[in-house]
Homo-oligomer: A and B are copies of this chain.
Amino acid sequence: MLVVKAHLTKIRCIGVHFYAFHFSQPSTSHMTTTSAIGESNLSRRAQLSTDQAIGRLMAQALAHPDLISLAAGFVDNATLPLTATQDAMAELAADEAGLRRALQYDSSAGSASMRSVLAEWAYRKWDYRPSIENVILTAGSNQLLHLLSECVLDPGDIVLAAAPTYFVYMGTLNAAGVRVIGVEADDDGVQVNRIAEQLERIEQAGEAERVKAVYVVTDFDNPAGSCLSQQRRLELVELIQRWNSRHGRVLLISDCAYSELRYAGEDIPPILADHPDASNFVVEAGTFSKSFSPGIRVGWGVLPDDLVAPMLGLKSGIDFGSPHFSQALMQRAIESGRVDAHLPVIREAYFGKLKVTLSALEKHFAGIEAAHWRRPEGGLYVWLTLPEHLDASEGGPLWQAAIEAGVLYVPGHFCYPSEGAPAQCNTIRLSFGVADEKGIDQGIERLAHAVRRVASN
């Protein structure tokens, strides 16, 4: 996935716009409909998603076991809900009828009781509860995003997203031949007036009907750590409502993966909670992977009425519904209040690590001219911008220097769409999920050292 993107943005970094593959112009593609014998045993999709940037990154980590990883997006092992899970397991094991149901197939949408508990839980504090008919359970929110892409996007379609944006989803879109157009973002998330400008440009180019979705990670987004402000959520809904009244429907995909991970500041309601009238075009994607356990892996989507049947049609062909045992276990954990009780534990742990990250940046990056970083109020990431001339790309001088200094990061350019707002190659995603506080401080010290070394050359 990642790789294509990496390739594209690397090329864009030197000022050339190059699109590897447009289905709309098959004759210019390097892949023909009937590929030559032996040329490749892979589908077009797989050919677009098999380069090994993440693989290379992991290989670096393996080759240098002493590296501190500020790259991995894993959650903190220390925050995993051992006791809560043990209790939920014991309860499920003791309930023979419930266990029997957990061991059997369920519907493609997932267990009705879990969907009901989820609707109750997720929307308790917002005074907004979706119909469980509109809720579909998936293996993490990522599977929801993938299914949704399968369901509504064709090659050549357009999705607008923040620049930078969640690179795994962008990789999925790229592999499906979808064009992702990046829109400038700041501390308050993606800039809605820039989305409006972009839409206007697309309209003038006669491509309005190819725009199918606007994708936003609403809270503490991966990679930039920003949170879409309440005002912008309103503006975005209004903008898309206006657009949809003139054109075919554009979906607003609201990825809430990190919504529960707020450590400071005031909660901002999810888009559907504040704008229930937008339920015919808003899709909300949520998950317990970050807030409880990525191993149990229960995600969900709230879908517009008319997407429910087609999404379930696709899902039943793929897996007949996500593992029901996981849903039953997660349901127990929510119903018993254990998930709610666990959230403060997670938040406190991550808040501590966020503060260490920010302090370490202040301490070790002091005096590095023009280096600056976002100060998120939640999530797992801090977005670092280096002096403009400093290329943080994979394989570049800083990348090498950082590995030599013993620290691994995610180059920011991985996270930029190939069209729209240009990639900033002097950016870095720092994750404070996995490393402990000492490791974070040390990793950032090493990174600053590498930056100084490269900047002085």
Contacts and interface: CB of A to CB of B under 8 A. Distances in A.
Interface of A: 1, 3, 24, 33-35, 37-38, 41-46, 49-50, 52, 54-55, 74-75, 77, 80-82, 85-86, 89-90, 92-93, 96, 99-106, 139-140, 142-143, 146, 150-154, 156, 168, 171-172, 175, 209-210, 247-249, 293-297, 306-307, 309-310, 313-314, 316-320, 322-326, 328-329
A373 to B, nearest CB: 26
Given A42-B151, A324-B295, A314 B49 contact: yes
Given A89-B93, A323-B323, 8 more contacts: A33-B154, A41-B307, A45-B150, A46-B152, A82-B100, A172-B318, A294-B320, A297-B323
Contacts of A248: 37-38, 41
Given A46-B310, A328-B295, A1 B151 contact: no
A46 B249 CA distance: 16
A242 to B, nearest CB: 15
B43 A150 contact: yes
B103 A85 contact: yes
Contacts of A320: 140, 142, 168, 294
30 contacts: A24-B33, A33-B154, A38-B248, A41-B152, A41-B249, A41-B307, A42-B310, A43-B153, A43-B154, A44-B154, A45-B151, A52-B309, A74-B104, A89-B92, A89-B93, A101-B295, A103-B295, A103-B296, A139-B319, A139-B323, A146-B318, A146-B319, A172-B317, A175-B317, A294-B324, A295-B323, A295-B328, A297-B323, A325-B329, A326-B326
Given A295-B105, A318-B143, A43 B168 contact: no
Contacts of A44: 154
Nearest to A92: B89
B317 A171 contact: yes
A249 B42 CA distance: 10
A102 B85 CA distance: 11
B42 A152 contact: yes
Nearest to A146: B318
A331 to B, nearest CB: 13
Contacts of A101: 295
Nearest to A251: B41
A293 B151 CA distance: 29
Contacts of A86: 93, 99
Nearest to A24: B33
Given A151-B43, A295-B105, A142 B318 contact: yes
Q: Which of A103, A105, A156 lies at the interface centre, i.e. has the most chain B CB atoms within 10 A of its CB?
A: A103
Q: Which of A33, A41, A322 lies at the interface centre, i.e. has the most chain B CB atoms within 10 A of its CB?
A: A41
A294 B104 contact: yes
A175 B209 CA distance: 23
B105 A74 contact: yes
Contacts of A326: 323, 325-326
A86 B96 CA distance: 9
A69 to B, nearest CB: 13
A296 B325 contact: yes
A311 B150 CA distance: 17
A209 B92 CA distance: 52
The 4 A-B pairs at the shortest CB distance, nearest first, are namely A295-B324, A297-B323, A103-B295, A50-B310
Contacts of A41: 152, 248-249, 306-307
A98 to B, nearest CB: 11
A152 B317 CA distance: 17
A322 B80 contact: no
B34 A210 contact: yes
A77 B100 CA distance: 7
A89 to B, nearest CB: 5
Contacts of A77: 100, 104
B100 A80 contact: yes
A310 B146 CA distance: 17
Given A49-B314, A168-B317, A93 B96 contact: no
Contacts of A209: 34-35, 37
A177 to B, nearest CB: 11
Contacts of A171: 317
A54 B139 contact: no
